[in-house]
Chains A and B, each alone.
Chain A
Amino acid sequence: MDNQSLISLYRKMLLVRVFEDKSAEMYTKARIAGFLHLTNGQEAIAVGAMSALNADDDLFTHYRDHGYAILKGASPESVMAELFGRATGTTGGRGGSMHLIHMDTNYWGGYAIVGGHLTLASGVAAANQFHGNGRVVTCVMGDGSTNIGTFHAALNWAQLWKLPIIFLVENNQFAMGTTIRNHSALPDVYRKADGYGMAAEQVDGNDVLAVHDVIARAAARGRAGEGPTLVEAVTYRHRGHSMADPDVQRDKAEIADWKKRDPIHRFANEVLLKRGIASPQDLEEISAEVEARVDKAAEFAENSPEPALDTLYKHIYMEPVSNMQVGGSLIRPPQIGARVASSEGENGRQ
């Protein structure tokens, strides 16, 4: 990889980190509601993986998706606006933080039902295979998603049909508050591929270059018609499961220990500075640029309008459906201003 590309990896990881910090701030300022899952500490996986794939390769992710959306090309403005629930967001405020999307580059969305998207991603891979278009799908999930039925159904089917897909597990060692040893009979997630005769690799998820290499190999395998790969990237999240998680259950020493292995600092120290690719001043300049970029996104979101109420029924069906009014029960005109927003109420800590 040339120096420019290496610096770009750094810039991207930092952009994701700074974006997350800004969204945390906006959450505490009550600009963002509901569930907000941040990826601090896990940035090397998204950045390494996306750097190894073609721009039009397909992507599905779970709800920890802000970084992926931005890396796939959604503007930080449109992502922050979506978090704010504004008309200018990636889905016009319909999906929120957990359901970002960017179809210009085949980012098929963030999904909030654990394991729900593994089958959909496999279906997109099946269509790629059917059309022979050479695209490879990456399907991102957490370690907790490797115990649900769709994981096993999707892996079996993908291997059976040799689908061009990479199942990428961000193993941050927790599913909400439950450690992997307490939720998975087999804590070495990549070995779950053995049950399906599928290729698998485990990688240090805090090493952006290592992730890049593993994903590049898996993509080549998919494109060559050799079928899917299960990739387990081992990492740790710096924050709680979501902004609703006070993070009391994890061991403080363990958190501190993993923060020493921060993927961004590590890449800066062990690669960029050590090899003389960038100076400390260069990195500071990048940091200032990124901060300004993210500030602009927050400002944009703040100044964006809420979605218009009369769009509420749009896209339930692709074409307007006749007879919807008949019976009175299927489509009612929205009661403009009749209800008080209820999103600030008690809504759990997922």
Chain B
Amino acid sequence: MAEITYREALKRAMREEMQHDPNVVIWGEDIVAYNNGGAYGVTQGLAKEFAGRVRDVPISEEAIIGLGVGAAMNGMRPICEIMTVNFTLVAWDQIVNHAAKQSHMFNGLLKVPMVIRTPNGHGRTASTHSQNFDSWFASIPGLKVIAPSTPYDAKGLLKSAIRDNDPVIFLEHLQLYGTKGEVPDEEYFVPIGESVYRRRGADVTVVSWGRMAFESNKAANMLAQDGIDVELIDLRTLRPLDLTLALESIKKTNRAIVVEEGWRSVGLGAEIAASLQEQAFDYLDAPIARVAGLEVPMPYAKNLERATLPFADDVVAAVKAMMQKQY
């Protein structure tokens, strides 16, 4: 088994699926000519391997999604790349009113097997280019929403997403593209809609996904040095939401913290906390806590950006506060 980057894992998933099915195509802005393959290099080299199936398209996000929906309904399996999640706003109607509704509103007569790949993230790019809309996407019936945190999951989940018959929002993360992890050489799939124990522990349950699952794992290592044993659950899929492991874990640890990158209020963390307490109220020794991004448009300045986003140390602080407090 080799260690590869999250970026490379995504590319391998697409390569395998394009070899597997001639109807899989990739359409996106600047994914062929620019820099030999994309603003973040995820599709690098694929255009050469699959002539005519990886195409640069106009800067028309609503059309990238809309043509993807049409092509998907008509026998193709398009992977539509939106350069960053911020630009999906231009295509919101096409995603919410069209991609997500076709099969239900037309009573199963239409299906939309497409993947919308787009990175979340920040990197000193200020408020229009540093956002996280996980909670919005996850609230829409008809969409499946995936946010992997490791190269292994990135590959296995993207392969599942491409074969899936529903529209899938596949949320990558700019800050994870360069991270490395073990990925088997043999083919494998990670099923959509299954959370995973990232780490077993006895003292407190941390529920997270995407970059914050990565940060939470770092936090768990730091907390272990202080003798606090974290059980970390990585949701991986945000819709359909699998809280089975989180519930199982809470029944053991009696404490839970939900960690997310996006804005706190009306966020997915609130939904998860509410659902968990509805079903495990009697097991809880403390209110479920939340770690989230601050509710401000992201500033450019280094210190302000750092202060706005949650990192491992925020998770450490939240866990310690919960463990120290007497109820």
Task: Spell out A's residues near B (CB within 8 Å).
Answer: 58, 91-92, 94-95, 99, 101, 103, 108-109, 111, 113, 116-128, 130-131, 149-150, 153-154, 156-157, 160, 314-319, 321-324, 326-330
Contacts and interface: CB of A to CB of B under 8 A. Distances in A.
Contacts of A122: 63, 66-67, 70
The 10 closest A-B pairs by CB, nearest first: A123-B70, A119-B66, A153-B60, A127-B74, A123-B67, A153-B63, A315-B108, A318-B165, A120-B70, A327-B275
Contacts of B68: 123
B216 to A, nearest CB: 19
Interface stretch (B92-100, B122-130, B222-230, B293-301): B92-100
A295 to B, nearest CB: 26
B109 A314 contact: no
B178 interface: no
Contact of A323 (B106, B108, B244): B244
Given A122-B70, A326-B242, A316 B104 contact: yes
Nearest to B274: A329
B273 to A, nearest CB: 11
B194 interface: yes
A117 B58 CA distance: 18
A337 to B, nearest CB: 22
Interface string B256-276: 000000000000000110110
B18 interface: no
Given A116-B94, A317-B166, A328-B278, 13 more contacts: A92-B107, A94-B105, A95-B106, A113-B93, A119-B69, A122-B66, A123-B71, A153-B62, A156-B58, A157-B58, A327-B241, A329-B271, A330-B141
B22 to A, nearest CB: 10
Contact of B241 (A124, A314, A330): A330
Contacts of B72: 123
Contacts of A127: 70-71, 74-76
Contact of B107 (A94, A120, A317): A94
A109 B107 CA distance: 12
B270 to A, nearest CB: 11
B244 A91 contact: no
Contact of B58 (A121, A160, A327, A328): A160
B103 A315 contact: yes
A25 B116 CA distance: 44
Contacts of A128: 74
Contacts of B73: 108, 120, 123-124
Given A119-B62, A126-B67, A91 B106 contact: yes
Given A94-B106, A326-B241, A327-B241, A150 B97 contact: no
A123 B106 contact: no
Contacts of B271: 327, 329
B215 to A, nearest CB: 23
A120 B68 CA distance: 7
Contact of B76 (A130, A153, A160): A130
A311 to B, nearest CB: 9
A133 to B, nearest CB: 9
B173 interface: no
A277 B40 CA distance: 67
A194 B57 CA distance: 20
Contacts of B194: 323
17 contacts: A119-B69, A119-B70, A120-B98, A122-B63, A122-B66, A123-B66, A123-B68, A123-B73, A124-B73, A153-B58, A156-B60, A157-B58, A315-B104, A315-B108, A323-B193, A326-B242, A330-B241
Contacts of B204: none
Contact of A101 (B109, B142, B242): B109
B279 interface: yes
A117 B110 CA distance: 14
A109 B110 contact: yes
B276 to A, nearest CB: 8
Contacts of B241: 323, 326-327, 329-330
Contact of A149 (B62, B76, B243): B62
A119 B63 CA distance: 5
Contacts of B70: 119-127
Nearest to B107: A91
B66 A118 contact: yes
Contacts of B94: 116, 119, 150
B71 A317 contact: no
B60 A131 contact: no
A314 B142 CA distance: 11
B12 interface: no
A324 B241 CA distance: 7
A120 B142 contact: no
Contacts of A131: 75
B144 interface: yes
B92 to A, nearest CB: 11
Nearest to A156: B58
Given A116-B93, A118-B66, A323-B242, A91 B105 contact: yes
